[in-house]
Every structure is written in structure tokens, then in C-alpha cells.
A and B are shown apart, each in its own frame.
Chain A
Amino acid sequence: MGLTLYEKLVERHCIHRFSDDELLLYVDRTVLNEYTSPQAFTGLRKAGRSVRRPEAALGVIDHVNPTDPDRVASMGDPEAELQVAYFRRNCDEFGIELIDILDPRQGIEHVIAPEEGFILPGMVVAAGDSHTTTYGALGALGFGIGTSDIEHCLATQALRYHRQKTMRIEVAGRVPVGLSAKDLIMHLVHALGAAGATGHAVEFSGSAIMGLSVEGRMTLANMAVELGARGVVIQPDDAVLEWLAGRKRVPQGTHWQAMESDLCNLVSDPDATFDAVHCFDAGDVSPMVSWGVSPDQALPVSQAVPEPEAQPTASRQEQARRAIAYMGLQPGRPLEGLEIDRAFIGSCTNSRIEDLRAAAAVVKGRQVAKGVRAMVVPGSGAVRRQAETEGLDTVFKAAGFEWRQPGCSMCLGMNPDILGPGERCASSTNRNFEGRQGAGGRTHLMSPSMVAAAAVTGRITDVRRLGVAR
């Protein structure tokens, strides 16, 4: 019987098998940040252990740093300062390369690691951030781990691993013009639920997936963790090779050719079987907006806040009532037309150059609506510079957007970028959890172009109603 791509990657990385499903799994790369790693390094020191392959780890400061337009080395907050100081010391003493705050490459780990050519098809990448699933877009198996497993991974270059069940999510057709990978993944999360892929490694396939750009696939794979996916893979194709070509750390010469020849092996066999299969048609996707406090509480922008009574169980009804109250909404209220206070374009889901281009195309020639504070936080220094080369910064600034420095920023508000209580935000991020962007803040997830449309109209708006500069 054939194997799925996920099963092949697990086989390739199996160091030792304890039982059918329990193994010691080799990890090719890890990426470290300042907030989930400190206790892992402390653990190594206490046990007198070293880092087995320091060159297989990359340290990035991204969660706690401010993103003020003029970059400064200071974190501005003593706790963040201490965390960053400890991270610097850890990377230095254990020999791990650190992309520090004033480094021109600095940015969000899941934007930088691919940009640096640090992630390649066929790898296993485990890192201390749930959105490590992003790397599935490059044909690597990416999954998030906690601090104790970061320590395990640093010490051993491996993890005790329980093989996941397999799921294929196949999307036929093409994502309609004017829509994006964000709308597609929000559609899937809405359809399958926030635990729709729990316990599974997900392979995305089908013409709509392969028709996405590599950056679009990153958006999709990134947010698959909002389905509960414990790992993501997408078959790597020529588009991935083109995207990687010329990047700093990618293999050279015969090594590049070997990687290229290996691509045909990184595919699920035609007779491979999955534990679960879901099929969708991209033609059914609409511009999506979240209305609640879980990423699956989302609907097409043309629809209204649902009636809690329509939920199947008493606890789901209570959950919906609580979400609607937290969000300051009423059942039956149309999503379109909801007034916003803030607009945020950024995060590891949607801060790459294509995201900024899509948003700028909407913003061009328009102004941020009165009373709305709008921010763009590019995913990395490289994205920021590329956008400036293309004049996108001018478009945003002329419209009244703040053009800021890279970081995780208001996706989770560990830095000074937060919502005030009750503020309503159109956001290109990945999680609308209660208090995620600031205590009492109200997050509406959507695509970058939908955020741009909300910013310039002052209310949630179907971006397709606005003429878009091409």
C-alpha cells in the first residue's frame, strides 16, 4: 500500500521506533523566539547539556519588540528587556545565530525563516510557536511545540514523536478573483471547525491549492493550526523551487540539483489512504469575516451575526451567546457595515509582500476613514524594503496608515501595540480569541485587502464593491 507525503517524511526522519506509532523523530531545523525559549535554555544549563546542532537553530526576536516607525534597540518595557537580554545570552553561549532587533533582516520568525532559505522541501521543522505549520507550504513538515520539547529538540536534535492520523483536504477549482488564500483557509476553518483536524497531520491538495502562490500557501498552512492540525504538508512543486532560488542559505550546485531531483519523491502515492478526506470547491469561497472569538466563528461578509439558537447543542449556544456579547454584537446584525476603530495589516499569516501589494491596491487613491487608526506592520525587514522599493509605503502613508517596523505586533499584543477595551479591529491576523489583541478588544479576522477596504470606508466592507487599482 502506498504512503502519504506525511508518512514518507516521518519515515525519512525515523531514528528509532519504540512501537508502530511511537518513534524518535529527527528534526532538521528549529526557529527560536524570545518568549517560548528561556525556560528551555535554563533547563539545558541545569542538566549540563549542550545544543546538539546549533547551526540547525535560528533565533529571532519578534514577539515583544515595539514596531515604532523609527526603530530603537530598547524594548521599552523592563520585562521584555530582560527576556531579550536572556535570549541574546542564550544564543551567544550556545552558539546559535540570532537575528537581533536592529538586524536589517529582523521580522516575524515564520516570515524570516523561509526568506533566509532556512526551510527546504523534505525537512521536519519543529519550533516553539503554533504557527510553525507555515512551513508545510514549502514541502516541509512543520509543527509547533512547547518549551519542554524545545529543550528536548535543542539537546537531542530529535523529538519523542507520536505519529498523527492523516487527513487530506482537497480543494478543486480556483480561488475566485479578488479573493485570497486567507478567505480560503477561513472558509475551511468555518466548515470543519476549530477542532476539525485535531489529532491529524493535514495535507492540502487540489488545483486550488497548487494554483496559490507559495506565499498564499504559507497563509493557508499557517492558519491550518486553527483547524487543530498538528502538522501540515503541501506537495512541493516548481513554484517552491522558483521561490527558493537565490535565497541566502539554500543548497548550491550539485546539492541544489539533488534537492530538485528529490522533489518527485515528495508526493503522496496514488494508492495512499488517509484517515480522513475532505473535498471542497474554491468557487464556493466568499470574502470571509469572523464575528466571534474562535476562528471558526466566521462567515461570508454578506451574512449576518448568527442566532445562538441555531447552534446544535446547549453548550455551543452558550458559547455563541458569550462570543456575541463579548464582541458587542446582536444576532441578525449584518456583518457588512459594522463600524471599526482600528485596522491592522500584519502577522505571520498576512504580512508578506503579496499581502501588502493586495492591500495597497485597495488603499491607493483613498484615505483612511475619519476616526480609524490604521497600521501596517511588514513581516520582515526584507518585506519592508521591497514594499518601499515598489512605493507601497507611500500609498499607505498618503492614505493615513502608520508604516511601522516588523514584528508580531498586534497579532497577540505582547508589545505596546494593543487594542483598548471595546475597540473593534479589522485584522489580517489569525486569532480572534478574547483579549488576544488587548483586554476587551474585538477582533474581526479577514484578508489584507478586506482590512484595507474596512480602513478606507470605516466599516466592514466587501472589498469587491470597491474599484481596485491594478
Chain B
Amino acid sequence: MTVTWPLKANAALLLQPDIDTDLIMPKQYLKGIDRSGLSDGLFRPLRFLADGTPDPSFPLNHSPGNEAQILVTGPNFGCGSSREHAVWGLQQRGIRAIVGSSFAGIFCDNALNNGLLIVELAPSEVSEIAAAISAMPSIQITIDLARQRIEFGKDSLDFAIKPERRNQMLKGEDRIAGSLALARQMAEFELAYSIRYPWLLAKP
């Protein structure tokens, strides 16, 4: 997905800790062989009440949260299953960036591989942004990836991101092509490895 940076958009608050990928994309949406149709499954257990009606308290169910392109999340967002469908579903719903205090490792890699920006901040910084959104739900948040800065109202915060991830997101690089371009290093490695650890490289 192509995102033009900086991103200026509404944000929705989803501060519940430990939102797992089963909640983000439940199993009944995992049986495709492509990436389509996942928007419908996004946060399904959270979006609906037990009687099947939409939960009015869920932020993505009403304005302005339903137009949000940024999510502000609680700790350990995306824990559990490795299912990349969670990331695809978020993107199909229009989410371009997630801001939170901590993210599960596989989810974070999946998101960045797909161009969904993950911004990790200190818990107090997340609280600061959350307070600004709570005070004015229609507030526009700007994420300037090149300058590594989030602006909300009159306030702003700097964030850290691995340089290679930032560059990949800004340039939309094909990571596989990048690795394949290291063919010479790969060939040298595999030769040395096969001499040193022949039992590992032998045909199993």
C-alpha cells in the first residue's frame, strides 16, 4: 500500500492492553487464498455485542473514529498468532499507522513489511496523545515519517524508528529484491557454511 508522507488524519483510541490477533482478525476470515474481504472481519469480536448489534462504545463504530487512519493502542498490541491477515485487514479498513507503547514482534514485522507504520513511544507519550484525542476526538494528527515526528494540536513528539525500516517505508522498497541482490554474499556464505556445517546443509 502506498502512503504519502506526512500522513495527516483522524485517530481512534484502542487502549485495551494485549489486543491479540484473534481479536483483530478472527479465524472465520482466515480461509482465503488471497488477501481480499478482510475489512469485514476486522476487530469483529470487539465491534459487535453478544446479541450481534454494533457496540456503540467501540471507537471505530462511529464518527470520527470510523474515518480514522491512525490507531492509538495499548501495550502489547498484536500479540498471539502470526496471521498477517490482521495487518491486511487493518489496511483494508484504511488504517495507515499505529501508535502505541509496545507491539508484539511478529505483528510489528508484518505491519512494516506491508507499509503499515508502527510508531513505538513511551507509555507516558502515548497517554499524552490519547489525552489530546479524548479532549477533541476530531483532532487531526500528523505523522511526519521523514522527520520522525508526530504533531497533535500545538504539541509534538519525536519518535525513533530503525533507519532501514524508515527508508523502506519512505521509498517503498521491495525487500526481497534487496536480499536477492546480495547473491554474491549468499553464494560465498553457503559455500563456507556447507564446508563448516555439512550436516546442516545436506539434503534432509
Contacts and interface: CB of A to CB of B under 8 A. Distances in A.
Interface in A304-332: 315-316, 318-319, 322
Given A15-B186, A83-B31, A434-B45, A149 B104 contact: no
A287 B82 CA distance: 28
Contacts of B31: 35, 64, 77, 79-80, 82-83, 414
B72 to A, nearest CB: 13
Interface stretch (B63-71, B90-98, B142-150, B196-204): B196-204
A431 B189 contact: no
A156 B75 CA distance: 33
B113 interface: yes
A258 interface: yes
Contact of A82 (B33, B104, B179, B198): B33
Among B32, B164, B199, which residue has the most Cβ atoms of chain A within 10 A?
B199
Contacts, number: 187
Contacts of A51: none
A468 interface: no
Interface in B1-46: 15-18, 20, 22-23, 26-27, 30-35, 45
Interface string A118-129: 101011000011
Contact of B79 (A55, A80, A152, A228): A228
B175 interface: yes
A401 interface: no
A233 to B, nearest CB: 15
Contacts of A55: 203-204
Contact of A258 (B22, B109, B198): B198
Contact of A128 (B82, B175, B197): B82
Given A26-B193, A36-B82, A145-B109, A49 B17 contact: no
A251 interface: yes
B22 A148 contact: no
A86 interface: yes
Contacts of B76: 194-195, 198, 228
B134 interface: no
Interface stretch (A16-24, A354-362, A449-457): A16-24
Contacts of A148: 84, 110, 113-114
Interface in A34-93: 35-36, 38-39, 42, 47, 49, 55-56, 64, 77, 79-80, 82-83, 86
A255 interface: yes
A130 interface: yes
B82 A130 contact: yes
B54 to A, nearest CB: 16
Interface stretch (A392-400, A435-443, A459-467): A435-443
A156 B186 contact: yes
B200 A198 contact: no
B73 to A, nearest CB: 11
Contacts of A42: 33-34
B74 interface: yes
B83 interface: yes
B104 A198 contact: yes
Nearest to B15: A315
B87 interface: yes
B22 A195 contact: no
Contacts of A149: 109-110, 113
Contacts of B201: 28
B80 A431 contact: yes
Interface in A277-324: 294, 315-316, 318-319, 322
Contacts of B27: 412-414, 435
B84 A146 contact: yes
A160 interface: yes
B33 A86 contact: yes
A16 B192 CA distance: 13
B82 A440 contact: no
Interface in B143-189: 162-164, 175-176, 178-180, 182, 185-186, 189
Interface of B: 15-18, 20, 22-23, 26-27, 30-35, 45, 50, 74-76, 79-84, 87, 102-107, 109-110, 113-114, 162-164, 175-176, 178-180, 182, 185-186, 189-190, 193, 197-204
User: Nearest 6 pairs between A and B by C-beta?
Assistant: A146-B110, A79-B31, A255-B199, A146-B84, A251-B199, A230-B105
12 contacts: A36-B82, A38-B32, A82-B33, A146-B82, A148-B110, A152-B175, A155-B176, A255-B202, A294-B79, A315-B15, A413-B27, A434-B23
Given A38-B32, A198-B76, 7 more contacts: A16-B185, A156-B176, A162-B162, A195-B75, A251-B202, A255-B202, A431-B22
